[in-house]
Chain A
Amino acid sequence: MAGTEPKYMARINRLKRKVFETYPEIDLEDAVILTKSFLETQGEALVTRKAKAFRKQCSEKTIKIWDDELIVGNSGSKIRGGILSADVCWSVLDRELETINTREYDKFKLLPQDKKDFEEIIRPYWKGRSNYEEWLARIPADVAALRDNGALYIDKKAVRGWGEVTAGYGWFIDNGVEGLRKKILERKAKLDDTVPGDYEKGVYLDALLITAEGMEILAERYAAEADRLAGEEKDQKRKAELRQIAENCRRVPAYPPRTFHEAMQSFYFYQICIFMEQNAAAYNPGRMDQFLYPYYKADIEAGRITPEEAQELFDCLWVKFSEPCVFQDEKTAEYSSGYPMFQNLCAGGIDKLGRDAVNDLSYMIIQATMDTQLYQPSLSVRYNMAKNPNSFLRKIVDLMVMGTGFPAFHNDEVGIRMLMNKGVPYNEAWNWNPGGCVETNLAGKLRAYSALADINLGSIVEFTLLNGRCRKTGKLAGAETGDPLTFKTYEDFLDALKRQLHYVIRTTVKASHIIDDICLERPVPALSISFEECIENASDYAWGGAKYNTGNGIICIGVADLINSVAAVKKVVYDEKTCSMTQLLSALASDFEDAPEILKACKDAPKYGNDDPFVDELAAELFGYIADEIESYRSKFGVMTPGILPVSGNTPFGKEVGALPSGRRAWRPLADGVSPNGGTDINGPTAVLKSVSNIPHDRFVQGTLLNMKLDPQMAHSENGVQQIMAMLKTLCSLGVYHIQFNVVDQKKLIEAQKKPEEYKDLLVRVAGYTAFFVELGKDVQDDIIARTMQSSVNCMTCG
């Protein structure tokens, strides 16, 4: 790449350097303004108070435009700030006030002034009032037992805002705030305050109007700041850029954009607004190549922009995506480390009429990640094998082999079916987008927590073999499904395992209902304003105002550990009787220390990931059962939804689970996503894909995640690239939903671990996202290093 670098990269490199060189800091300005606003609005409706607090943030927050920027805006006051949603979870910071900069994952600097503000303004007001405290007060004993014994991770939603959503960006941009205001006023005009319910609707619509006003104030303040800087600027070129920025900010988001640049600025204003409203991960931009395309096309046709200028704007936006750092508590950071913003942005797919939707912007979006090589946005592609061109697939592979971990490759047909399984008809499901890691979403139409709770499948195996007890704590946490010594047949064992699954899923659903109830008190007018039906229904996103609502996502972690453990018990204890159940239990209790021959038998049992029907049929049966179980429950918002996406939760979950019959030693990480256990897949990538295709992907509607590390050597020749393309097409034929490649060699990772200072820019894919390797905890790093390296056979003929 070097040597042929386009001219605009000089600016991009300067912008990037600023991000690299800035250490993440806690940013409490928004929380302080919110708190002051709440002190002024006591007695008013909660949604009104939220809206007024938002407007006050827009009116009072620090406005900064940094050197070289073409797209402006910042949710807080600091370039790499972690902002706190005080109303949701102020107490998280309270617990970590002294340790936030020394904890293992996602450290933040906390300046003395911020600490003082926290102690004097935030804590005194919010003590006893946050959603998180409410959750801690209400959590049932059986849920807490699962959580505290490492079988369930469910606090995530109580420690940050909504997120996990794709706002209606296109609708927002196209209408402009003024257009939305008009719709809100029209809706308001239909209300009759003597009709029950209309008063509340009126209050809600007024809150939306306050929010809209806040957005316009914010944009005007950016315009004024750009003008001020332009006045001081000596460099004529930069002066003109600043004047342009000012003009853009006076136009958008208030009105529909006139240019591509304005459309992109409007998008980013909205992005910072919803993040300001609630700190959370996974505000997913979604199908940007679709909603920005009309603006690009008009500019090109009018000769207002060149493709290179548009590319520069994309690259500038990509740097903006990489600035904010999600703030989360220590535990949650452990489960998804790397300051993961999960702003999942997507290229490719099909249009309303089922036609190829790939356009020039689809390629430029991929190019922007190639140019910037940053950890945000989380770049995804919807690859539709029937409709998208080979040149698009080629571009995807060109990026994959650069080793940034992007893009996440999604099989479009399966994504569409997942949306339909969520209850969205095809006439809208075609427009789906990946969100967060690999979850499925629909812009401006769909509400759910896509990853409410993580279930530890390693614990399920452990509970089955210890009659409901956790090995680490010795406490009863699961169901009492019987002493395993009484399991006469494999069917007895499998039946007990299924009853454990049933119990844990059922308990999780109960907890989900409580969180749903708490979250009714978490209205988000800034987010809701881009949901057409939230205006139409005069009902917030949090209350089910969106067009489609679905039950929360229940996520399974340790897929391969479960499958391989069941296969090993079947093979070793019941089929071949290599050892008795008693001997197996004793071997597991000692972490195989006293029983090397049983460890060997366990390890030699068939392993998932090798295209071996013995174990792959178990995978199909078990995950069919899990999907059946989860789908058998409803919440007030719809059917509960299964998914398989570990973020980095497989590492901390592993620390809670002792030795497993699969031959996995105690406290080691579990397998990630639907991937095989590291080191157990020995037949290459084709066998992995065949095994993985036994999971019923379409039914795990919150997505399934497959990680594969790929030796970059495989892509060094044209032939190698062509075969990766063919492999991806085969993945689609097999009905696998997703794959992402870590195209880095282990040597490089080990070196990066030793000399982090020299590898600041090394990106790796950690489950559903990409992070700077050196910012990850050591055990997550070790896990990445240990994953099986796939490589092709390159053997000289031996005639």
Chain B
Amino acid sequence: MTRGIIFNLAHYAVHDGPGIRTTVFLKGCPMRCIWCCSPQSQSFEIERSLTNEKIYGREVSPDELFAEVSRDAPFWRRSHGGVTLSGGEVLSQPDFAVEFLDICRANGVHTAIETSLFVSTEILRSVADAADLIQFDIKAMDSALHRRLTGQDNEVILQNAAWLLQSGRDCLVRFPMVPGVNDFEEELRALGSFVEKHREWAEIEILKYHRLGVGIYDELGRSYALPDVKPPTEAEAAKAKEILGGYKIKVF
């Protein structure tokens, strides 16, 4: 079996798909989003905090991981929940992810993945076929902006997004809203028309920027790129929602 590297497990996760879920955070990501709330998710290596008190990352086999998350099974059953693979980037460990998702499916457990889609369509397809729900981010439509914010181009991401939306799979598009950074009106309009074009009445969730992970940068001896950005206000979020609401999409 393929061993994977993960950095956290969240129980009673109620924002990562339907029901009560157990979310597994895979370690390692090809992107470097400047607002990233979990810097410990980026490296593919096991890391230690500067004080050596905390260790981020451990290796597990799909079997071991399933045994561990299954302790929450009574909650999945009552809530129609399941397991969500998040990251880091799930699609950067595709063999591990597929093996794990196959075990879940064999045991009747609902699965979801959360991904940036920054991967070849071939790999995406293999993982998407094994998961029940695909939740993916579109962080910016403008390619120059996307490169500046994440360190990577968005061409393959948009191709993958288009393919997923057209494929009819159970999908949720997410827009991480970072005030003054990616929430300009033209960006939002581009996002709305892109999603509408590939699937009418697709669902989009606005994820409001937060600063919960800022302390971890200090622990890792890194600096945080967005010291002055504040979470969106109610009014800002409502405005973004209104703009997106002008398209044939479901926004929440």
- Chain A contact residues, CB within 8 Å of chain B: 611, 683-687, 690, 714, 719-720, 722-723, 726-727, 729-730, 733-734, 790, 792-799
Contact = CB atoms under 8 A, between A and B. Distances in A.
B176 A796 contact: yes
Given A796-B208, A799-B29, 5 more contacts: A611-B71, A685-B11, A690-B71, A722-B79, A723-B12
Contacts of B10: 684, 793, 795
A796 B211 CA distance: 10
A733 B74 contact: yes
Nearest to A385: B78
Given A723-B19, A727-B20, A727-B79, A797 B74 contact: no
Interface in B86-144: 86-89, 114-118, 135-137, 139
Contact of A683 (B11, B20, B77): B11
A417 B114 CA distance: 44
The interface centre, meaning the residue of A686, A687, A790, A798 with most chain B CB atoms within 10 A of its CB, is: A798
A726 B81 contact: yes
A686 B20 contact: yes
B118 A799 contact: yes
**Closest A-B pairs by Cβ, 6 of them:** A799-B116, A726-B79, A793-B10, A797-B114, A729-B78, A730-B78
B38 A686 contact: no
- B20, B41, B115, B139: residue with the most chain A Cβ atoms closer than 10 Å: B20
A792 B14 contact: yes
B210 interface: yes
Contacts of A794: 15, 210, 212
Given A730-B75, A734-B74, A798 B15 contact: no
B46 interface: no
A220 to B, nearest CB: 54
Nearest to B178: A796
Given A797-B137, A799-B117, A730 B38 contact: no
B137 A799 contact: yes
B9 to A, nearest CB: 8
B224 interface: no
Given A690-B71, A796-B209, A797-B86, A719 B14 contact: yes
Nearest to B114: A797
A686 B75 contact: yes
23 contacts: A611-B71, A683-B11, A684-B12, A687-B11, A714-B14, A726-B78, A726-B81, A727-B12, A730-B20, A733-B74, A792-B13, A792-B14, A793-B13, A793-B16, A793-B23, A795-B10, A796-B209, A797-B86, A797-B176, A798-B38, A798-B87, A799-B31, A799-B116
Contacts of B88: 798
A795 B139 CA distance: 15
Interface of B: 10-16, 19-20, 23, 29, 31, 33, 36-38, 41, 71-72, 74-75, 77-81, 86-89, 114-118, 135-137, 139, 174, 176, 207-210, 212
A714 B14 CA distance: 9
A727 B15 CA distance: 15
Contacts of A797: 86-87, 114-115, 135, 137, 174, 176, 207
A33 to B, nearest CB: 56
Contacts, number: 108
B14 A723 contact: yes
A720 B12 CA distance: 11
Contacts of A733: 74, 77-78
A378 B200 CA distance: 52
A723 B87 CA distance: 23
A726 B41 CA distance: 30
Contact of B75 (A726, A790, A793): A726
B11 A798 contact: no
Nearest to A790: B12
Contacts of A729: 78-79
B20 A799 contact: no
Contacts of B29: 798-799
Residue of A684, A690, A723, A797 with most partner-chain B CB within 10 A: A797
Q: Which of B14, B36, B176 has the largest count of A CB atoms less than 10 A from its CB? A: B14
Nearest to B138: A799
B37 A798 contact: yes
A723 B20 contact: yes
A758 B36 CA distance: 40
A799 B37 contact: no
A722 B79 CA distance: 8
Contact of B12 (A793, A796, A799): A793
Contact of A727 (B75, B87, B89, B114): B75
A77 B10 CA distance: 56
A723 B79 contact: yes
A686 B174 CA distance: 27
B243 to A, nearest CB: 20
A798 B33 contact: yes
A726 B209 CA distance: 28
Contacts of A719: 14-15
B173 to A, nearest CB: 11
Contact of B19 (A611, A726, A734, A796): A726
Contacts of A790: 12
Contacts of B71: 611, 687, 690
A720 B89 CA distance: 26
B14 A730 contact: no
Nearest to A792: B14
A798 B23 CA distance: 13
Nearest to B15: A794
Contacts of A714: 14
Nearest to B31: A799
A726 B82 CA distance: 13
Contacts of A793: 10, 12-16, 23
A686 B72 contact: yes
A730 B176 contact: no
Contacts of A687: 11, 71
A686 B117 CA distance: 31
Nearest to B38: A798
B54 to A, nearest CB: 13
Contacts of A685: 11-12
A796 B136 contact: no
Contact of A684 (B11, B89, B135, B136): B11
Contacts of A734: 74
A126 B18 CA distance: 67
Nearest to A690: B71
A463 B78 CA distance: 43
Contacts of A690: 71-72, 74
Contacts of A683: 11
Nearest to B86: A797
Contacts of B36: 798
B74 A799 contact: no
A797 B172 CA distance: 12
Contacts of B81: 726
Nearest to A799: B116
A790 B135 CA distance: 26
A148 to B, nearest CB: 44
A411 to B, nearest CB: 13
Nearest to A724: B14
A720 B20 CA distance: 10
A201 to B, nearest CB: 54
A721 to B, nearest CB: 10
A518 to B, nearest CB: 47
B93 to A, nearest CB: 13
Residue picked from B12, B15, B37, B176, most chain A C-beta under 10 Å: B12
A792 B15 CA distance: 8
A730 B37 contact: no
Nearest to A726: B79
Nearest to B19: A726
A726 B80 CA distance: 9
B132 to A, nearest CB: 17
Nearest to B150: A799
A720 B14 contact: yes
Contacts of A726: 19-20, 75, 78-81
B43 to A, nearest CB: 13
